[in-house]
């Protein structure tokens, strides 16, 4: 096919192939152990797979209702009430989406207009900024504070203007593993109180939080919940990132706007998967036991790499561990990540890609949502890097 003969004016001139695609391809090419992209390399439950299968065989293969099937919205409402003491109306305040990414895009597209400012904390998950820019919004960046990636609320306050339309937060945080505290939530409450500022709270790792710490959802804070789109993903909770199913919770008037975009973007999410999840979510232990499951993986990984030249950053949540390689080389993180994949056979993600402009903290992100065997093999290789 010849290329399109006219000039193409990109709407996202800075976006290329994402680093996740690049590193996974490089890992395949060099047969490296892939700790780069955030996905489990172990199976989801056989029971969940069998449920999807059963619903397919029962004929649940056509469009679902635009907002998602009612039994799934109901079981989500029940879970939110039990865990966070908040009532979301399944009819008007809960929408099932094709994953967290679609939910984030949809929420932003629904409310952000040309010239609106959106505060984004960096390092930030990579889909935030393009979504803001495609809606004509202006991302306003605030750096998380080293060494623990806490939020610098004074810096956030300074960035608030009368054009600020939204503040985006993410807890537990990708890529740093930091979690927000109750005092962070109070600060957010103070900053937004009496304003029209909306909050987008990305809580896709709500159940991957360690050391007995409570997940500080905006849903625990009524004054925040009333101005928030809260985003969740079944992919993280049920080891099914490829199923791309998630949900967005928001007050009815915000949900109405969300659904206007959702219905023309995807119309609805995958039907048999929704039915299967509605059943499977009744097994509460699947999510209540997830923190323990992933804490063991985190601890195994950090124990295995003890004695290596990498320095650990504390990981309080998510399935990522940051490693500081400044004692090994002065190379830029992108260069080192590529060389390590090719020469040492372990793929990771350089943290600089989570910033809009170059940064060089000499940090790599490793995903520990892997089998013990994979973690052992990776650690063996990491121990050899000097």
Positions touching ligand PMP (CB under 6 A) are 38, 99-101, 125, 170, 174, 202, 204, 233, 235, 241, 244, 246
Interatomic CA distance for residues 316 and 323, integer angstroms: 14
CB 38, CB 319: distance < 8 Å: yes
Longest dimension (CA), the chain: 59
Query: Least CB distance from residue 291 to ligand PMP, whole Å?
Result: 17
* Structure token pair of residue 304: 């295995």
Tell me whether residue 20 or residue 153 sits nearer to ligand PMP (CB atom): 20
Query: Least CB distance from residue 356 to ligand PMP, whole Å?
Result: 16
CB 112, CB 104: distance < 8 Å: no
Tell me whether residue 100 or residue 177 sits nearer to ligand PMP (CB atom): 100
Tell me whether residue 248 or residue 379 sits nearer to ligand PMP (CB atom): 248
Query: Least CB distance from residue 129 to ligand PMP, whole Å?
Result: 13
Tell me whether residue 125 or residue 336 sits nearer to ligand PMP (CB atom): 125
* C-alpha pair distances (Å), 53 with each of 107, 209, 269, 351, 354: 31, 31, 17, 39, 38
Tell me whether residue 349 or residue 379 sits nearer to ligand PMP (CB atom): 349
Interatomic CA distance for residues 42 and 44, integer angstroms: 7
Tell me whether residue 121 or residue 338 sits nearer to ligand PMP (CB atom): 121
Residue 169: cis peptide before it, omega within 30 degrees of 0: no
Cβ within 8 Å of residue 296, ≥6 positions away: none
Write down the number of H helices and E strands in the chain: 15, 13
Query: Least CB distance from residue 232 to ligand PMP, whole Å?
Result: 8
Place of tokens 């052992």: 376
Tell me whether residue 202 or residue 216 sits nearer to ligand PMP (CB atom): 202
DSSP H helices, the chain, are 19-29, 46-57, 70-84, 99-111, 128-134, 153-159, 182-192, 222-225, 234-237, 252-265, 271-280, 285-288, 290-304, 333-339, 372-383
CB 117, CB 161: distance < 8 Å: yes
Query: Least CB distance from residue 112 to ligand PMP, whole Å?
Result: 17
Query: Least CB distance from residue 175 to ligand PMP, whole Å?
Result: 8
Tell me whether residue 134 or residue 344 sits nearer to ligand PMP (CB atom): 134
Query: Least CB distance from residue 231 to ligand PMP, whole Å?
Result: 7
Query: Least CB distance from residue 284 to ligand PMP, whole Å?
Result: 21
Tell me whether residue 308 or residue 321 sits nearer to ligand PMP (CB atom): 321
- Other Cβ atoms less than 10 A from the Cβ of 95: the count is 27
Order of strands across the sheet with 311-312?
311-312, 320-324, 363-367, 349-350
Query: Least CB distance from residue 50 to ligand PMP, whole Å?
Result: 22
């Amino acid at each position: 096919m010849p290329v399109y003969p006219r000039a193409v004016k990109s709407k996202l001139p800075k976006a290329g192939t994402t680093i996740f695609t690049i590193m996974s391809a490089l890992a395949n090419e060099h047969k490296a152990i892939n700790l780069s992209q955030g996905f489990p390399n172990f199976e989801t439950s056989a029971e969940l797979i069998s449920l999807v299968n059963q619903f397919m065989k029962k004929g649940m293969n056509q469009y679902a209702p635009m907002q998602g099937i009612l039994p799934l919205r109901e079981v989500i409402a029940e879970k939110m009430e039990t865990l966070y003491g908040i009532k979301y109306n399944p009819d008007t305040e809960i929408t099932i989406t094709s994953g967290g990414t679609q939910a984030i895009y949809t929420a932003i597209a629904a409310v952000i207009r040309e010239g609106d400012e959106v505060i984004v904390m960096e390092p930030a998950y990579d889909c935030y900024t393009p979504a803001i820019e495609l809606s004509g919004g202006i991302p306003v960046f605030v750096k998380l504070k080293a060494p623990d990636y806490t939020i610098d609320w004074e810096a956030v306050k300074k960035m608030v203007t009368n054009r600020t339309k939204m503040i985006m937060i993410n807890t537990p945080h990708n890529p740093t593993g930091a979690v927000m505290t109750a005092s962070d939530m109070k600060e957010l409450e103070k900053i937004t109180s009496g304003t029209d500022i909306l909050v987008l709270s990305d809580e896709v790792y709500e159940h991957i939080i360690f050391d007995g710490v409570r997940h500080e959802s905006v849903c625990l804070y009524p004054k925040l919940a009333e101005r928030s789109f809260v985003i969740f993903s079944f992919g993280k909770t049920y080891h099914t990132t490829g199923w791309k199913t998630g949900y967005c919770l928001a007050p009815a008037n915000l949900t109405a706007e969300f659904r206007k975009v959702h219905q023309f973007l995807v119309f609805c999410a995958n039907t048999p998967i929704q039915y299967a999840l509605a059943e499977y979510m009744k097994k509460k232990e699947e999510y209540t036991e997830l923190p323990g499951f992933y804490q063991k993986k985190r601890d195994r990984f950090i124990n295995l790499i003890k004695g290596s030249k990498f320095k650990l950053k504390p990981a309080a949540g998510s399935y990522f561990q940051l490693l500081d390689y400044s004692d090994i080389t002065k190379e830029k993180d992108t260069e080192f990540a590529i060389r390590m994949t090719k020469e040492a056979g372990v793929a990771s993600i350089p943290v600089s890609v989570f910033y809009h402009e170059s940064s060089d903290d000499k940090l790599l992100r490793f995903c520990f949502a892997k089998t013990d065997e994979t973690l052992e093999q990776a650690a063996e290789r990491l121990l050899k890097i000097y």
